[in-house]
Amino acid sequence: MSFEALGLEPMWLEALTTLGFESATPVQRRVIPAHFAANDGIGLAPTGSGKTLAFGLSLLQPLHHVPLPEVGGGVYAVVLVPTRELAQQVSHALVDLIKTVRIQHTTPLRVVTAVGGASINTQLMGLRAGASVLVATPGRLLDLIDNGGVALHMLRHVVLDEADRLLDSGFSDELQRIHQAIDQATTHAAVKPPQTWLFSATWNDEVDSLSQAWLRQPVRVEETAGVVATPPIEQRAIAVDEKRRTALLLHLIKTHKWRQVLVFVGTQYAADHVADKLYNNFKGAKVYATAFHGGLTQAQRTTCLNEFKTGQWDVLVTTDLAARGIDIAALPAVVNYDLPRSASDYTHRIGRTGRAGVAGEAVSFVTPAASRHFELIVQRNQLTIRVELLAGFETTDLAHVQPEATDSSTGGLDPSGGIKGKRMSKKDKLRAMAQHTQQEPEPEPDQNQIQDQQQAQTGLPGAIDATGTTDSIGQANPSDKPNL
């Protein structure tokens, strides 16, 4: 369907044509008319569905006809996002539309971005002239409210983008405080509450509760037809000992001649360490790799991401900070150096490749200690992925017997995404290994060697470092250092 049927004015149609948008996605076809009808709404759609353009056009067209607020800190629309990177991405998309319109037309539209890790004084000064749209992370918006920098009673629109990620990132309390502040401001000014839309890639009880608190009789847009929910991604899994993962990563980069690859690890320390190994110290085979995580300043993160997008870096080693809300055009490969904590995070990680119909490859490293966890990820996502044995990287770690699940109702999967249950005792492990040896005869290893390897077993990967997904300036200490 063309954009003409959605109620867009000619100036916006011209801008879309100039920017190369030829037809509307299913989500855009339903969200834009519903938004113009002044409904609250829920947009449940996968990554790459075009929701940013959908709510962007829905906000900018009506606000184009409204002069900028004369009240200092006046804002007509607020878009709340979970990460600084997504805030920048949304802002750039809106600004691109505005700049294109300004080629032929005069418009008062103005976008301000407010995130942590940057000077709040600069952001407060930017809001003094008023804004059509404020794109912000929750923590920084609360800072602005506390400093009297935002006139909430003027709000006409609110967008909660990636609501599931907002909650996953621990912003539940912040969202509640923001909602209360908006309610108080609009009630005191005797104006109606702002029109609110919530967008999410997944739906659970927490997102449902959030929608009930913020939305009034919302329309629901749940559209997957025409959207590539499962992108054309070749998914592979390779068994490898923990200490040989970096060597395997280097082998894959060289063999496949990847010029861009996104590598996911579990901690900020691991991101720095793996990037350093690739760039400087790994057998003299230099790879242009850099780390990207929440321990960097906002300026460093922005520079790092832009340099990766423009090809100055071949490898970006990152935590789950880059798992969602970051669009890298035609990214050929994603590697799970450390497995994600939850099954849904696996989907979002590999979704960085295979975008816009361009084929991609996702490779997961499966250590003996994490094999059961990988099985659960595959099972939860209803996938069929055979774990390969790559010549020269066969596993030698004998500590491969996995803990038995104790919760049959969840298949051993913790509701938060991890594995429940206790580890086997040392004696039980010895019995299990003896049984395995009887089933598959092989030379009996030295008992001291068995004990050493058992003591070195580490179990599942630690929880993914989520500090990068908040806009707090302070950072948590990294998890225990892994063997690399």
**C-alpha span between 40 and 194 (Å, rounded):** 9
Q: Which residue has the higher pLDDT, 281 or 236?
A: 236
Residue 480, in any domain of the structure = no
Q: Do residues 108 and 131 touch, judged by C-beta distance below 8 A?
A: no
Lowest mean pLDDT among 137-146, 316-325, 361-370, 439-448: 439-448
Q: Are 193 and 242 found together in one domain?
A: no
Domain, as residue range, for 373: 233-423+459-469
Q: pLDDT at residue 200 above 50?
A: yes
pLDDT at position 331:
87
* Domain termination site, one of 199, 222, 245: 222
Domain presence at residue 65? yes
pLDDT digits (tens, 9 = 90+) for 263-297: 999 999 999 999 999 988 656 667 899 999 988 88
Residue that the structure tokens 């939305």 belong to: 215
With beta carbons less than 8 A apart as the criterion, state whether 119 and 199 touch: no
Q: Please report the pLDDT score of residue 325 as a whole number.
A: 61
Question: Backbone phi, then psi, for 221, in 5-degree steps?
Answer: -115, 110
Mean pLDDT (whole number) for 457-471: 35
Q: Which has the closest alpha carbon to 467: 170, 263, 173, 201?
A: 170
Dump pLDDT digits (tens) for 361-371: 999 999 999 99
Interior/surface letters 175-188, b for 16+ CB within 10 angstroms, e for the rest: bebbbebbeebbee
CB atoms closer than 10 angstroms to residue 254: 11
**Given a cut of 60, is residue 242 above it in pLDDT?**
yes
Confidence of residue 105 (pLDDT cuts 50, 70, 90): confident
Least confident of 11-15, 24-28, 135-139, 326-330: 326-330
Q: Give the separation between CA 377 and CA 344, rounded to whole angstroms.
A: 8
State both tokens at 385: 């992925």
Answer whether residue 356 shows pLDDT above 50: yes
- What's the rounded mean pLDDT across residues 342-356? 81
Do 359 and 407 reside in the same domain of the chain?
yes
Residue range 382-391, pLDDT digits in tens: 889 999 999 8
Using alpha carbons, select from 397, 363, 370, 386 the residue that is nearest to residue 251.
Answer: 363
**Residue 301 confidence (pLDDT):** 87
Checking if the pLDDT of 466 tops 80, the result is no
Query: Is the pLDDT score of 393 beyond 50?
Result: yes
Q: Rounded distance, CA 289 to CA 291, Å? A: 7
What are the φ/ψ torsions at residue 131 (nearest 5 degrees)?
-150, 145
Question: Which of these three, 183, 199, 222, is where a domain ends?
Answer: 222
- Listed residue (159, 184, 4) closest to 81, CA to CA: 159
HSE-up of residue 88 (Cα within 13 Å, Cβ side): 16
Q: How confident is the model over 5-10, as a mean pLDDT?
A: 93
Distance CA 278, CA 287 (A): 5
Sign of CA dihedral 178, 320, 120, 67: negative
31 Cβ neighbours under 8 A, 6+ residues apart: 41, 43, 51, 54, 55, 58, 197, 221
Give the domain-ending residue among 171, 195, 222.
Answer: 222
**What would the mean pLDDT of 439-454 be, rounded to a whole number?**
43
Q: What's the rounded mean pLDDT across residues 7-13? A: 95
* Pair (313, 184) in one structural domain: no
**How far is residue 360's CA from residue 373's CA, in Å, rounded to a whole number?**
24
Q: Are 63 and 218 in contact (CB under 8 A)?
A: no
Lookup: tokens for 22: 């030829």
Higher pLDDT, 164 or 112: 112
Same domain, 204 and 319: no
* Residue that wins the pLDDT comparison between 229 and 42: 42
- Helix (H) / strand (E) containing 98: helix 84-102
Residue 428 lies inside a defined structural domain of this protein: no
Find the mean pLDDT for residues 471-482.
34
Q: What is the pLDDT of residues 408-419, one digit of tens each?
A: 333 333 433 343
- Looking at the structure, do residues 175 and 245 belong to the same domain, yes or no? no
Share of the chain above pLDDT 90, in %: 53
Phi, psi of 420 (to 5 degrees): -95, 160
One domain for residues 217 and 237: no
Is 213 inside any structural domain?
yes
Q: Which carries the bigger pLDDT value, residue 450 or residue 111?
A: 111
Q: What DSSP state is assigned to residue 424? A: P
pLDDT at site 249 = 94
Say if residue 165 is in the same domain as residue 310.
no
Please report the pLDDT score of residue 124 as a whole number: 93
Q: Are 214 and 256 in the same domain?
A: no
Domain count, the chain: 2
CATH code, domain carrying 464 = 3.40.50.300
Residue 478 has a pLDDT of 36
Residues whose CB is less than 8 angstroms from the CB of residue 312 and which lie 6 or more positions away in sequence, other chains included: 288
Say yes or no to pLDDT of 16 above 60: yes
| Domain identity same for 262 and 194 | no
Structural tokens at position 141: 């918006």
* Better-scored residue on pLDDT, 273 or 49: 273
**pLDDT at residue 464 is higher than 70:** no
Q: What is the arithmetic mean of pLDDT over 313-332? A: 82
Whether residues 73 and 168 share a domain: the answer is yes
pTM of the model: 0.60
Q: What's the whole-number average pLDDT of the chain?
A: 80
Answer yes or no: is 434 within a domain.
no
Instruction: List b or e across 410-419, with b for residues whose CB sees 16 or more CB atoms inside 10 angstroms.
Output: eebbeeebbb
% of the chain surpassing 70 pLDDT = 77
* 314: CB partners within 8 A, 6+ apart: 253, 258, 259, 260, 261, 287, 288, 289
Position 194 pLDDT exceeds 80: yes
